[in-house]
């Protein structure tokens, strides 16, 4: 979820219009689309126990009413047939969790807990991130947004839920770092854990998020560190406290010896920024730069023209025993010379002190293509680098409306990549194949801000949302549409 605040009262008035969600500015906070639906209609009934559905080679993980977005996935390194996932629920309050014990062939679903509302208002969750530790615990991070009845936002706080049964249940949740009012907004947390067997910080849990909405200097980039399996988190700011404080989308990741790295989008400087810690996240150095970029915040490409595609880094480290052990990789979206968007990658062999020149992970094609909503993962067993992303190369409208999920793979340390299509059906979330407006698309949400990916043991597991089933009637739905569903697949490299 991305947030860039307009003046708050004006934003409330604008969003009161039922038409606004279909013609919103890409700079507006996307969680308002969820809030507007819930305020007008109330939450949809909970799906209870759900079961995945195989769809022409891909797996519909969510298989439930209404739209989902912003997916994430993690794998248990001690038992790689166990995976856990998560997504936003747009028509319901809680986060949704998913679990699989057979390598992603089948999945079940569960709702994540929410705290009591503050005062007489309501609250809901957004922005999933997941990570396993070496003990088989899975940690699920998200934000909780609190609203008053007609009084705007009451505040936000971080949540990290822990499951010891592979994501089937989340009985333990730690809530922390509450921010009141509208100036500082806890947003887009991503979580990771140190799973290196010889690391002095093994099983530490780290989560990073931005709290700098509205250009606030005092919000900045927040980093949480837990040494007690997610029971408590110490929090500090790790960007430049004298800088602009305008940033979004932090991604923490861990090196092979327990080094802690965090990258983020510095909107003010228009860079992919970076910081690092060599003492298990206790202290950080002076922030550096992975690369300069052209797009500061987001861009309204045709496939996501109603809300914009967000610029964020997705990074990982090579923790294998291969040739490139210790190499760091970061990817992000930026403009091409012809005005389309592409996924770029840079790597570092000196723990982030210097970075290679960015280059594309996508195929070189003779026609215009947009790529966006990517994620990156390095397989700790062999060091292969994989990047998943939406791609419009199969568009049949002539307008770059239709998307597929692709996987780019590199076995030479991120120097060259080969691309393969993952989704077995294309989606059009712009005009519903020529019919506009289409009742089966939630235009304020569209594909969300990010999609997940994890690689392990020679296989990759991308997870994404698409709308191929948008107009399928679903028994028990309040409206006859599934809208955007969560899909995944197991890709053996």
What is the tens place of the pLDDT at every residue in 368-381? Answer: 999 999 999 999 99
> pLDDT value at position 9?
26
> pLDDT value at position 5?
33
Asked whether the predicted pLDDT for residue 362 surpasses 70, the reply is yes
Q: Per DSSP, what are the bridge partners of residue 247?
A: 266
- Measured between alpha carbons, how far is 287 from 113 in angstroms, rounded to an integer? 35
Q: Are 262 and 324 spatial neighbours (Cβ–Cβ below 8 Å)?
A: no
432 pLDDT band (50/70/90 cuts)?
A: confident
- Which has more pLDDT, 446 or 33? 446
Which DSSP category does 43 fall into? Answer: P
For the chain, what percent of residues have pLDDT higher than 70? 89
Asked whether the predicted pLDDT for residue 128 surpasses 60, the reply is yes
Asked whether the predicted pLDDT for residue 427 surpasses 90, the reply is yes
Asked whether the predicted pLDDT for residue 476 surpasses 80, the reply is no
Q: Are 113 and 161 spatial neighbours (Cβ–Cβ below 8 Å)?
A: yes
Nearest CA to 432 out of 398, 479, 468 is that of 468
In the block, tokens 């005005």 appear at 339
Least confident of 321-330, 334-343, 475-484: 475-484
The residue-averaged pLDDT of 472-491 equals 84
The residue-averaged pLDDT of 146-173 equals 89
- Measured between alpha carbons, how far is 107 from 85 in angstroms, rounded to an integer? 9
Helix axes 31-41, 8-15, angle to 10 degrees: 50
Q: What residue ranges do the domains of the chain occupy?
A: 8-492
CB atoms within 10 A of CB 176: 16
> pLDDT value at position 137?
98
> pLDDT value at position 437?
77
As given in the structure block, the two tokens for residue 266 are 């510095």
> pLDDT value at position 453?
98
- Which has more pLDDT, 18 or 175? 175
- What pTM was computed for the model? 0.92
CA atoms within 13 A on the CB side of 338: 9
| Mean pLDDT of all residues belonging to the chain | 88
> pLDDT value at position 179?
84
Tell me whether residue 221 is exposed, middle or buried, using C-beta atoms within 10 angstroms of its C-beta: 0 to 12, 13 to 18, 19 or more. Answer: buried
- Which has more pLDDT, 178 or 101? 101
Nearest CA to 331 out of 318, 344, 347 is that of 344
Q: Per DSSP, what are the bridge partners of residue 162?
A: 139, 172
Asked whether the predicted pLDDT for residue 157 surpasses 80, the reply is yes
> pLDDT value at position 211?
82
CB atoms within 10 A of CB 256: 17
Cβ-count burial 239-255 (b if 16+ within 10 Å, e if not)? bbeebbbbbbbbbbbbb
Which DSSP category does 20 fall into? Answer: G
Q: Are 69 and 447 spatial neighbours (Cβ–Cβ below 8 Å)?
A: yes
Nearest CA to 252 out of 266, 264, 240, 241 is that of 264
As given in the structure block, the two tokens for residue 402 are 């239709």
As given in the structure block, the two tokens for residue 329 are 């990789």
- Measured between alpha carbons, how far is 358 from 292 in angstroms, rounded to an integer? 9
- Measured between alpha carbons, how far is 30 from 44 in angstroms, rounded to an integer? 19
- Which has more pLDDT, 394 or 217? 394
CA atoms within 13 A on the CB side of 349: 7
CATH number of 8-492: 2.120.10.10
Least confident of 21-25, 268-272, 465-469: 21-25
Quick: pLDDT tens for 208-242. Answer: 998 865 445 567 899 999 999 999 999 999 987 65
Asked whether the predicted pLDDT for residue 42 surpasses 90, the reply is no
């Amino acid at each position: 979820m991305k947030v860039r605040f307009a003046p708050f009262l004006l934003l409330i008035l604008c969003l009161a219009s039922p038409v606004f969600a279909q013609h919103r500015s890409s700079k507006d906070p996307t969680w308002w689309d969820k809030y507007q639906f819930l305020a007008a209609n109330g939450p949809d009934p909970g799906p209870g126990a759900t079961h995945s559905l195989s769809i022409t080679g891909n797996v519909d993980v969510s298989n439930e009413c209404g739209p989902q977005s912003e997916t994430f996935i993690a794998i248990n390194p001690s038992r790689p047939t166990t995976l856990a996932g998560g997504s936003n629920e747009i028509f319901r309050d809680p986060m949704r969790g998913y679990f699989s014990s057979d390598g992603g062939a089948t999945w079940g679903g569960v709702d994540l807990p929410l705290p009591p509302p503050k005062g007489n208002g309501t609250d809901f969750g957004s922005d999933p991130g997941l990570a396993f530790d070496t003990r088989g615990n899975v940690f699920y991070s998200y934000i909780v947004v609190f609203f008053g009845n007609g009084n705007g936002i009451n505040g936000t706080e971080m949540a990290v839920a822990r499951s010891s049964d592979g994501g089937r249940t989340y009985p333990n949740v730690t809530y922390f770092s509450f921010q009141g009012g509208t100036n500082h907004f806890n947003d887009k947390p991503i979580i990771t854990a140190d799973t290196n067997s010889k690391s002095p910080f093994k099983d530490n849990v780290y989560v990073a998020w931005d709290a700098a909405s509205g250009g606030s200097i005092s919000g900045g980039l927040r980093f949480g560190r837990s040494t007690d399996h997610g029971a408590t988190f110490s929090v500090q700011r790790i960007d430049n406290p004298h800088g602009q404080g305008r940033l979004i989308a932090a991604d923490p990741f861990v090196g092979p010896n327990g080094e802690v790295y965090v990258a983020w989008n510095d909107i003010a400087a228009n860079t992919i920024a970076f910081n690092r810690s060599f003492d298990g996240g206790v202290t950080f150095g002076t922030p550096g730069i992975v690369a300069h970029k052209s797009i500061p915040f987001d861009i309204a490409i045709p496939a996501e023209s109603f809300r914009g595609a967000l610029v964020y880094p997705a990074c990982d480290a090579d923790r294998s025993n291969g040739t490139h052990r210790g190499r760091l990789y970061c990817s992000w979206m930026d403009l091409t010379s012809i005005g389309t968007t592409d996924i770029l990658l840079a790597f570092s062999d000196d723990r982030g002190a210097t970075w290679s020149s960015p280059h594309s992970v996508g195929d070189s094609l003779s026609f215009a293509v947009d790529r966006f909503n990517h994620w990156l993962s390095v397989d700790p067993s062999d060091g292969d680098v994989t990047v998943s992303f939406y791609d419009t190369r199969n568009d049949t409208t002539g307008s770059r409306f239709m998307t597929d999920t692709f996987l780019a793979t590199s076995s030479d340390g991120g120097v060259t990549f080969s691309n393969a299509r993952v989704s077995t059906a294309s989606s059009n979330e712009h005009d519903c194949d020529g019919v506009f407006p289409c009742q089966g698309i939630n235009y304020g949400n569209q594909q969300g801000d990010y999609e997940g990916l994890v690689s392990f043991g020679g296989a990759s597991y991308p997870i994404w949302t698409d709308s191929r089933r948008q107009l399928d009637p679903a028994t028990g739905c309040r409206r006859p549409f599934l809208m955007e569903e969560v899909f995944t697949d197991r890709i053996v490299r």
